[in-house]
Amino acid sequence: MGRDFHPYHPQRWQVRWEQGNVAGRASRVLEVPVNWYLDDFPPLAYTGAQAGMQDSNTIYNRWRDIFDYGYANETNPVFATCVHPQVIAQAHHMLWYERLVEYISGHDGVWFATIEEIARAWVDDETDEAKFALPDVRGVEPAPADSGWA
pLDDT digits (tens, 9 = 90+) for 46-75: 877 777 788 899 999 999 999 999 999 999
Beta strand segments in 1-150, E: 11-15, 22-26, 139-140
Instruction: Tell me the pLDDT band of 19, cut-offs 50, 70 and 90.
Output: confident
90 and 52 in contact (C-beta within 8 Å)? no
Class of domain 2-144: alpha beta
Q: How far apart are CA 144 and CA 19, in angstroms?
A: 12
Exposure string for 12-41, b = 16+ CB within 10 A, e = fewer: bebeeeeeeebebbbeeebebbeeeebbbb
pLDDT of 33 above 90? no
Q: How far apart are CA 148 and CA 150, in angstroms?
A: 6
> What pLDDT, on the 0 to 100 scale, is given for residue 53?
83
CA-closest candidate to residue 18, choices 107, 120, 149: 149
Q: How far apart are CA 57 and CA 70, in angstroms?
A: 20
pLDDT digits (tens, 9 = 90+) for 79-115: 999 999 999 999 999 999 999 999 999 999 999 999 9
Mean of pLDDT over the chain: 91
